[in-house]
């Protein structure tokens, strides 16, 4: 099965090299704070490749909360998501969920979050060959589907690193869109400045020890702009970015 996906990706890569499909620009790393490209753009809707989305075009007063990795399982964060009925897309690493799957199934049972793909080992996918991309993206999708009963349809490429080969590999694994971000609210070495959010912005957070405070900052910023958190996939469909 994986060999057929790799062969298809390799053939498609050859067509790219021959100029059949253009190249999408790479997106900056997660620690950079904001994805490259204009906030309104979903890059590369061409040749049937899944788009790279850093911002969702919408007239609704909504913002999208996304949380990556999954290593720190803070009960207070889960309680906040449940009590405040916050829709969130969780881009999870299978290894980060496997030692406490119930933390995430408990959130899924509330019906307000979705589990999405963030690869197996968090590599820069642009540096891998076709087999490596397949193992990381399809492998994570299969493991998350086994754990949570649904195969992810969205991929967050680690570090936001994307090119057309990555998009081709993602398509072969059933991915409908690659989601980067508009702003990173994660506290890394220091707390980042709080931007003014706009409708359709995608907020990046991480399951780190500071997630509770980072989530509060993001929700406060959304409220200050008159925005409410919303589920990502329905708005991607409404915007025509995914079928």
What is the percent of the chain where pLDDT is above 90? 79
Instruction: Report the pLDDT averaged over residues 27-40.
Output: 39
pLDDT reported for residue 3: 37
Confidence of residue 42 (pLDDT cuts 50, 70, 90): low
Cα-Cα end-to-end distance for the chain: 25
**Coil, strand or helix at 91:** strand
Distances (CA, A) of 13 to 53, 167, 185: 21, 10, 35
Give the pTM.
0.84
pLDDT reported for residue 32: 41
pLDDT reported for residue 90: 98
pLDDT at 23 over 60: no
123-171 pLDDT, tens digit per residue, is: 999 999 999 999 999 999 999 999 999 999 999 999 999 999 999 999 9
186-204 pLDDT, tens digit per residue, is: 999 999 999 999 999 999 9
pLDDT reported for residue 43: 57
Q: What is the mean pLDDT of the chain?
A: 86
55-114 pLDDT, tens digit per residue, is: 999 999 999 999 999 999 999 999 999 999 999 999 999 999 999 999 999 999 987 899
The contacts of residue 93 (CB under 8 Å, 6+ apart) are 69, 70, 71, 118, 119, 120, 121, 122, 140
Half-sphere exposure of 121 (CA within 13 A, CB side): 9
């Amino acid at each position: 099965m994986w060999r057929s996906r790799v062969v298809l990706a390799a053939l498609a890569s050859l067509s790219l090299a021959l100029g059949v499909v253009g190249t999408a620009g790479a997106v900056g790393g997660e620690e950079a704070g904001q994805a490259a490209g204009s906030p309104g753009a979903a890059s590369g809707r061409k040749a049937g490749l899944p788009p790279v989305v850093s911002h969702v075009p919408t007239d609704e007063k909504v913002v999208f909360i996304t949380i990556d990795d999954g290593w720190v399982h803070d009960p207070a964060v889960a309680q906040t998501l449940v009590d405040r009925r916050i829709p969130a897309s969780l881009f999870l690493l299978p290894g980060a969920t496997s030692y406490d799957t119930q933390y995430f199934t408990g959130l899924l049972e509330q019906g307000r979050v979705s589990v999405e793909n963030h690869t197996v080992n968090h590599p820069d996918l642009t540096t891998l060959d076709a087999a490596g991309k397949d193992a990381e993206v399809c492998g994570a999708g299969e493991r998350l589907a086994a754990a949570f009963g649904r195969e992810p349809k969205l991929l967050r490429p680690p570090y936001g690193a994307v090119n057309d080969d990555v998009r081709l590999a993602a398509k072969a694994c059933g991915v409908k869109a690659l989601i980067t971000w508009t702003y990173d609210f994660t506290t890394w070495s220091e707390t980042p400045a709080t931007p003014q959010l706009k409708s359709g912005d995608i907020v990046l957070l991480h399951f780190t020890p500071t997630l509770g405070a980072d989530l509060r900052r993001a929700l406060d910023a959304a409220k200050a702009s008159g925005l409410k958190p919303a589920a990502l996939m329905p708005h991607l469909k409404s915007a025509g970015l995914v079928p």
